[in-house]
């Protein structure tokens, strides 16, 4: 649909132009009074967005260097149904590539105002609303001062989100181990191939993203310095239209040559820095950097209480819902005790009934399973309780291994890095096979994954 329904009379126009260029542009618009009507000359971005929201204009003409011009402003005008026309100097930093990355569809150099502004305003007003073309992304294979050399994927990489219940079910631990296992599946396969004739995978690459806006902990889990958030920096670059794959690699902390981390927020109070639009851009870019992107998110997906008072304001849970909606697979994790299983059932009901998330494939992982919580029948009871939510695959059960996990945490390493041949390490390796085989074989992967999961459970006495 158009930004505004066709209406008789001139186009109603807002202007937000830097002082040096404003007189010439206003004079040009004044000469076309029958076609356009300048209803307001805005002094700042707050005024421009306010009048756009009031519905008094069809089009806003804005300078690319106007204070506050960024992705949020572009989205605000789109939301209000006001067509945006940007005037820029091609010789400055606001290049056509950057404007395209910000989602601007109609822009013009100042030198072309006299001939092209009025036709472009008309075109913008009549154009159907839609998404801007994707920005081509360049690749760089290394990051300065880090031992990081990700292999770019031949096709768009996969996005896996680890989500689960409250109560510390092990989301961060599972995130780091899934990412490490997928990035080093060839090494894990070689260890097993010494005993069994198993095919090994070629070298892969993975990125961990800590998008938890409530209790980010990937930094501590992997023993990294808690100085600056790589994810926040990437989101700021995305908001300015400057994020490419080569830029994203500069924000990664290198764990191994095949595994990088976008560290999370240093303080949970900084959650507004992870806006939905910017985070979506970061995740899309990450898909072009590595075969696998594994994201740790907070447990809450409900609407914030403030939504009723400010429908267009920032949402604390937007990082979680945006990531889940973009995922190729959601790994839902909970604990294997009676409290954790009850929380898991409620969490699965929530995600099953969520209109934006119900269609996303998911794999249920029950962590910290131990006989002391409900006797030897614990695994069977857990599978029965979760059976109506787990679709094709049965839930994957991971045993409680506090000693091994604690040692890995103290050393700042993934369990699969610290103790790959331990009991929990072997179970995690089989979980990696379940995930990877599902993507490798498409529909047939469900059968292969289910078989692998069944073998795992049989080996665990489930």
Q: Tens of pLDDT along 56-93?
A: 999 999 998 888 888 888 888 988 889 999 998 766 65
Select 158-459's CATH number: 3.90.1150.10, 3.10.20.70, 3.40.50.300, 3.30.565.10: 3.40.50.300
Classify residue 6 as exposed, middle or buried by CB count within 10 Å of its CB (0-12, 13-18, 19+): exposed
**In the structure encoding, which two tokens stand for residue 123, read together?**
């075109």
Instruction: Decide if pLDDT at 134 tops 50.
Output: no
* Residues 198, 374: Cα–Cα separation, whole Å: 36
* Residues 384, 143: Cα–Cα separation, whole Å: 47
Higher pLDDT, 100 or 455: 100
- CA-nearest of 44, 49, 94, 108 to 74 is 49
59-63 and 11-16 strand pairing:
parallel
Instruction: Decide if pLDDT at 227 tops 80.
Output: no
Q: Give the per-residue pLDDT at 270.
A: 87
Reported confidence tier of residue 202, pLDDT bands at 50, 70, 90: very low
What's the average model confidence in pLDDT over 289-313?
Answer: 78
| Winning range, highest mean pLDDT, from 85-89, 211-215, 346-350, 439-443 | 211-215
Q: Give the per-residue pLDDT at 451.
A: 44
Q: Give the per-residue pLDDT at 201.
A: 44
* Residues 313, 272: Cα–Cα separation, whole Å: 10
Higher pLDDT, 378 or 232: 232
Reported confidence tier of residue 103, pLDDT bands at 50, 70, 90: confident
Higher pLDDT, 131 or 317: 317
Q: Give the per-residue pLDDT at 292.
A: 94
- CA-nearest of 322, 234, 353 to 285 is 234
* Residues 128, 118: Cα–Cα separation, whole Å: 18
Higher pLDDT, 378 or 46: 46
Instruction: Decide if pLDDT at 154 tops 90.
Output: no
Q: Give the per-residue pLDDT at 79.
A: 83
Strand order in the sheet with 259-262: 253-256, 259-262, 206-211, 292-297, 158-164, 329-335, 362-369, 396-399
Q: Give the per-residue pLDDT at 17.
A: 92
Higher pLDDT, 115 or 138: 115
* Residues 92, 356: Cα–Cα separation, whole Å: 40
Three-point CA angle 101, 230, 138, nearest 5°: 40
Q: Give the per-residue pLDDT at 446.
A: 39
Query: If one looks up domain 11-126 in CATH, what number appears?
Result: 3.40.50.2300
Buried b (16+ CB within 10 A) or exposed e, 392-431: ebbbbbbbbbeebbeebbeeebbbbbbbbebebbbbbbbb
Instruction: Decide if pLDDT at 144 tops 90.
Output: no
Backbone dihedral region of 205: left (phi > 0), alpha (psi from -120 to 50 degrees) or beta? beta
**In the structure encoding, which two tokens stand for residue 259, read together?**
């595994």
* Residues 254, 233: Cα–Cα separation, whole Å: 16
The CA-atom distances, in angstroms, between 461 and each of 375, 450, 454 are 13, 16, 10
* Lowest-confidence region among 191-195, 231-235, 248-252, 355-359: 191-195
Reported confidence tier of residue 391, pLDDT bands at 50, 70, 90: low
Q: Give the per-residue pLDDT at 445.
A: 37
Classify residue 138 as exposed, middle or buried by CB count within 10 Å of its CB (0-12, 13-18, 19+): exposed
Q: What 3-state class would DSSP assign to 134?
A: coil
Q: Give the per-residue pLDDT at 337.
A: 83
* Residues 332, 371: Cα–Cα separation, whole Å: 22
Same-fold call for 11-126 versus 158-459: yes
The CA-atom distances, in angstroms, between 438 and each of 18, 178, 424, 443, 454 are 54, 14, 21, 8, 14
Instruction: Decide if pLDDT at 382 tops 80.
Output: no
Which residues are within 8 A (CB) of 266 and not within 5 positions of it... i.e. 6 or more apart?
226, 227, 228, 229
pTM: 0.69
Higher pLDDT, 284 or 451: 284
Q: Give the per-residue pLDDT at 178.
A: 96
Higher pLDDT, 286 or 443: 286
Tell me what percent of the residues of the chain surpass a pLDDT of 90: 34
Instruction: Decide if pLDDT at 402 tops 50.
Output: yes
Q: Give the per-residue pLDDT at 94.
A: 60
* Lowest-confidence region among 11-15, 227-231, 359-363: 227-231
Instruction: Decide if pLDDT at 326 tops 90.
Output: yes
**In the structure encoding, which two tokens stand for residue 141, read together?**
């294979």
Following DSSP, what letter does each residue of 46-106 receive, concatenated? HHHHHHHHHT--SEEEEETTSTT-SHHHHHHHHHHT-EEEEEE-TTSS--HHHHHHTT---
Q: Using only C-alpha atoms, what is the Rg of the chain?
A: 26
**In the structure encoding, which two tokens stand for residue 13, read together?**
């126009």
Q: What 3-state class would DSSP assign to 2?
A: strand
SS3 per-residue string spanning 293-306: EEEEECCCCCCCHH
Q: Give the per-residue pLDDT at 16.
A: 93
Q: Give the per-residue pLDDT at 138.
A: 33
Reported confidence tier of residue 388, pLDDT bands at 50, 70, 90: low
The CA-atom distances, in angstroms, between 368 and each of 169, 334, 382, 431 are 8, 8, 12, 14
* Lowest-confidence region among 36-40, 66-70, 77-81, 189-193: 189-193
- CA-nearest of 91, 169, 218 to 334 is 169
* Residues 438, 450: Cα–Cα separation, whole Å: 9
Q: Give the per-residue pLDDT at 291.
A: 92
Domain boundaries, the chain: 11-126, 158-459
What's the average model confidence in pLDDT over 164-178?
Answer: 93
Classify residue 164 as exposed, middle or buried by CB count within 10 Å of its CB (0-12, 13-18, 19+): buried
């Amino acid at each position: 649909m158009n930004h505004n329904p066709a209406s008789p009379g001139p186009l109603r126009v807002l202007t937000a132009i830097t002082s040096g260029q404003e007189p010439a542009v206003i004079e040009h618009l004044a000469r076309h009074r029958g076609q356009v009507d300048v209803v307001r000359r805005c002094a700042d971005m707050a005024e421009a967005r306010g009048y756009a929201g009031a519905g008094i204009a069809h089009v806003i003409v804005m300078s690319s260097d106007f204070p506050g011009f960024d992705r949020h402003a572009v989205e605000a005008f789109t939301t209000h149904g006001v067509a945006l026309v940007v005037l820029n100097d091609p010789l400055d930093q606001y290049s056509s590539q950057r404007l395209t990355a910000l989602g601007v569809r109609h822009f013009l150099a100042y030198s072309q105002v006299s001939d092209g502004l009025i036709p472009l305003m008309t075109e913008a007003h009549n154009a159907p609303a839609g998404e801007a073309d994707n920005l081509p992304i360049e690749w760089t294979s290394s990051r300065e001062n880090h031992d990081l050399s990700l292999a770019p994927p031949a096709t768009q990489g996969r996005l896996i989100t680890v989500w689960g219940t409250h109560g510390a079910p092990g989301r961060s631990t599972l995130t780091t181990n899934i990412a490490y296992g997928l990035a080093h599946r060839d090494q894990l396969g070689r260890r097993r191939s010494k005993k069994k004739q198993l095919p090994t995978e070629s070298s892969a690459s993975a990125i961990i993203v800590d998008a938890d806006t409530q209790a980010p902990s990937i930094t501590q889990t992997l023993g990294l310095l808690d100085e600056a958030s790589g994810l926040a920096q990437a989101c700021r670059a995305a908001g300015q239209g400057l994020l490419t794959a080569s830029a994203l690699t500069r924000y990664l902390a290198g764990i191994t040559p095949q595994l990088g981390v976008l560290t999370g927020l240093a303080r949970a109070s900084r959650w507004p820095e992870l806006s939905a639009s910017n985070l979506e851009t970061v995740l899309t870019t990450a898909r072009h950097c590595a075969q696998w992107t594994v994201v740790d998110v907070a447990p809450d997906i409900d609407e914030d209480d403030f939504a009723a008072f400010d429908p267009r304001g920032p949402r604390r849970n937007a990082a979680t819902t945006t990531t889940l909606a973009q995922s190729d697979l959601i790994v839902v994790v909970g604990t294997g005790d009676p409290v954790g299983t009850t929380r898991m059932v409620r969490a699965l009901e929530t995600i099953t009934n969520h209109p934006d998330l119900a269609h996303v494939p998911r794999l249920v992982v029950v962590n910290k399973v131990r006989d002391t919580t409900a006797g030897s029948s614990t695994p069977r009871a857990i599978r029965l309780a979760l059976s109506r939510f787990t679709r094709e695959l049965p839930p994957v059960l991971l045993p409680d291994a506090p000693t091994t996990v604690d040692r890995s945490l103290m050393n700042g390493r993934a369990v699969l890095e610290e103790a790959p041949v331990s009991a929990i390490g072997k179970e995690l390796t089989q979980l990696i096979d379940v995930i990877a085989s599902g993507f490798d074989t498409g529909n047939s992967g469900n059968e292969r994954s289910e078989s692998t999961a069944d073998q795992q459970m049989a080996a665990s006495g489930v």
